[in-house]
Structure 1
Amino acid sequence: MAIRKSALKQAPARPELDRLLQQAREKGVTEEQLFQQRISFAYGNAPEGSGITKETATRAAGSMLMRGSR
């Protein structure tokens, strides 16, 4: 059997990545960014041949936002 390296080692220090992650946490996400993410998720996960377009995903995301904010 092959000898394998342990996967339970501590990850190497990455100060630049840690700084960027902290910066992202502090900045937050705007409502417009969430809206665009919702559209992208719906469009990107639509099955091929479903007829879902970016426009229909945008309309659906807009109507979900209106219903959720009442």
Structure 2
Amino acid sequence: MAERKSALKRAPARPELNEKLEKAKKQVITEEQLQEQRASFVYGNAPKGSRITKESAIKATKHIRVVTPAAA
């Protein structure tokens, strides 16, 4: 059996990536951009052969309601 490398090593330093991540954390997206992302997610994860179209995904994202769970 082949020897496996340990996956418990620390990741190498990536200063450019860390800089981009910090910049991304401060980025504010608009409701329109969020809706586009939702529609893209829905369409991209639709099963092959389904009748979901990009247009139907966009329409569906306009009717999403966020519900706050009741206190237990």
Q: Which residue does 2:34 correspond to in 1?
A: 34
Q: Which residue does 1:16 correspond to in 2?
A: 16
SS in 1 for 2:63: helix
> What's the Cα RMSD here?
1.5
Q: Which residue does 2:51 correspond to in 1?
A: 51
* Structure 2: 5+ residue stretches without partners: 67-72
TM superposition shift of 1:4: 2.5
TM-score, normalised to structure 1, is: 0.81
* Structure 1: 5+ residue stretches without partners: none
SS in 1 for 2:26: helix
Aligned residue pairs, count: 66
Runs of 4+ in 1 over 4 A off after TM superposition: none
| Distance in 1 between residues matched to 2:16 and 2:50, nearest whole Å | 42
